[in-house]
Structure 1
Amino acid sequence: MSQIELNEKKIQILNVAEKLFSEKGFEGTSIRDISKEAKINIAMVSYYFGSKERLLEALILYKTVDLKLQLENLLQENIEPLDKVNKLIEIYVNRICLNKGIYRVLHFELYNKKREKSLQAFTELKKGNLKSVESIIKQGQDQGVFRKDVNIQLITPTIIGTFFHFHMNRSFFEELLGLKTEEMFNNYINNDLKKHIQQTIKALLVYEN
Structure 2
Amino acid sequence: MTQQPLSETKQKILQAAIYLFHSKGFTGTSVREIASRANVNIAHISYYFKGKGGLLEYLVSQYYEEYIQVIEDNYAQLTYKNAHVILNKMVLDILNYQHANRQLSRLVYREVTLDSVLIREVMTTYLMKEKYYLQAVLEQGIEEGIFRKGFIPHIIIQLRSLLHMPYLQPQYMSEVLYIQPHETYFVHQYYKELKNWLNSLLIDNQTKMVEGKLIAVR
Shorter-chain TM-score: which interval? 0.7 to 0.9
The CA deviation at 1:13 is 1.3
Q: Secondary structure at the match of 2:118?
A: coil
Q: Secondary structure at the match of 2:176?
A: helix
Residue number among 167, 172, 177 corresponding to 1:173 in the alignment: 177
Amino acid aligned to 1:157: R
TM-score by length of 2: 0.79
User: 2:105: which partner in 1?
Assistant: 103
- Superposed, 1:59-98 pairs within 5 Å as 59-77=59-77, 78-98=80-100
User: 2:184: which partner in 1?
Assistant: 186
Q: Deviations over 1:33-87 (max 9, x none)?
A: 1111111111110121112112101011222311211211211212222111111
User: 2:9: which partner in 1?
Assistant: 9
Structure of greater Rg: 2
The CA deviation at 1:21 is 0.5
Identity %: 23
The CA deviation at 1:166 is 7.4
Uncovered stretches (5+) of structure 1, i.e. residues with no partner = 1-5
Q: Deviations over 1:148-202 (max 9, x none)?
A: 214243244233245347743213333xx7x7xx88x431x12221111111122
Q: 1:89/1:170 Cα in 2 relative to 1: closer, same or farther (>3 Å)?
A: same
Q: 1:136/1:155 Cα in 2 relative to 1: closer, same or farther (>3 Å)?
A: farther
User: 2:28: which partner in 1?
Assistant: 28
User: 1:148: which partner in 2?
Assistant: 149
CA distance in 2, matches of 1:165, 1:48: 28
Identify the structure with bigger relative contact order (alpha carbons < 8 Å, sequence gap 6+).
Answer: 1
Q: 1:194/1:30 Cα in 2 relative to 1: closer, same or farther (>3 Å)?
A: same
Answer whether contact 1:93 1:163 (CA < 8 A) is retained. Answer: no
CA distance in 2, matches of 1:202, 1:28: 43
- Superposed, 1:125-136 pairs within 5 Å as 125-136=126-137
Answer whether contact 1:72 1:132 (CA < 8 A) is retained. Answer: yes
Q: Deviations over 1:13-40 (max 9, x none)?
A: 1121111100111111111111111111
CA distance in 2, matches of 1:29, 1:165: 19
CA distance in 2, matches of 1:193, 1:26: 30
Root-mean-square deviation (CA), in Å? 2.4
CA distance in 2, matches of 1:166, 1:32: 28
TM-score by length of 1: 0.82
Uncovered stretches (5+) of structure 2, i.e. residues with no partner = 1-5, 207-218
